[in-house]
Amino acid sequence: MNPENFINALTEKGFELSSKQKEQFAIYYQELVKTNKKVNLTRITDEKDVYQKHFYDSMTPVFEFPDLFKGEKSLCDVGAGAGFPSLPIKILCPELKVTIIDSLGKRLKFLESLVEKLGLTDITLVHSRAEDAGQNPALREKFDLVTARAVARMSVLGEYCLPLVKLDGYFIALKGPKADDELASAKKAIKLLGGKTQKVVELTLPNSDDERTLILVKKLTKTPKKYPRQAGTPNKKPL
């Protein structure tokens, strides 16, 4: 998926990119590849692959759940790494207020520079472990939407993300193919943390065999105060 194919694919989804947005994606790609030579951000660096497997892939929640992204919503991206999925979504939905949480300072330094070069506003970068962020009163249950992509299995991811979602807000997990088993093992954890799975969407990236799964979880009740547990515990002892 070269830039032209990418633009056409978005048009088919009902999104006409402005010249500014096209330029933002081009700069994003250039900065990602340049910085990746010094900081390990991604193993995917070919332009066609970045546009498809990072940019387009990151925006699939907007295509599948468009109503959730309308208006001035707040989104928190847990473990965003090189900015996926939140920054491609932000470029597509400029009104979105984005908070990115990541535990690695080098990645946040890249994101800080990138955000400035892309001319993006209403973005907050937080240097923190997800477990600590979930217990931070400034962040806990403050967001309309919380996303995570390629971070952890669902039983662990729920404990990272659901404490950050406000009541009646949504947690969106971007997963690989066939996430049924993972979701089944996380059912108890999701309920315990105040969530309920609303929808599971399986899709394939355009002109490829790359399968993806989107899991949409609604926050129905407040997360018990003891969650998330101490840093490292969710991964060692999943709920």
Q: Which residue numbers belong to the known binding site for S-adenosyl-L-methionine?
A: 79, 84, 130-131, 149
User: 66: which DSSP letter?
Assistant: G
Binding site, by residue number, is: 79, 84, 130-131, 149
Question: Rounded CA gap, 55 and 82, in Å?
Answer: 11
Give the alpha-carbon dihedral of 52, 182, 160, 223, to 10 degrees. 130
Exposure letters 123-141 (e unless 16+ CB within 10 A, then b): bebbebbbbbbbbeeebbb
Write down the residue that tokens 């999943």 correspond to.
238
Determine which helix (DSSP H) or strand (DSSP E) holds 227, and give its type and residue range: none
Determine which helix (DSSP H) or strand (DSSP E) holds 202, and give its type and residue range: strand 195-204
Residue of 88, 74, 108 lying closest to 6 (CA atoms): 88
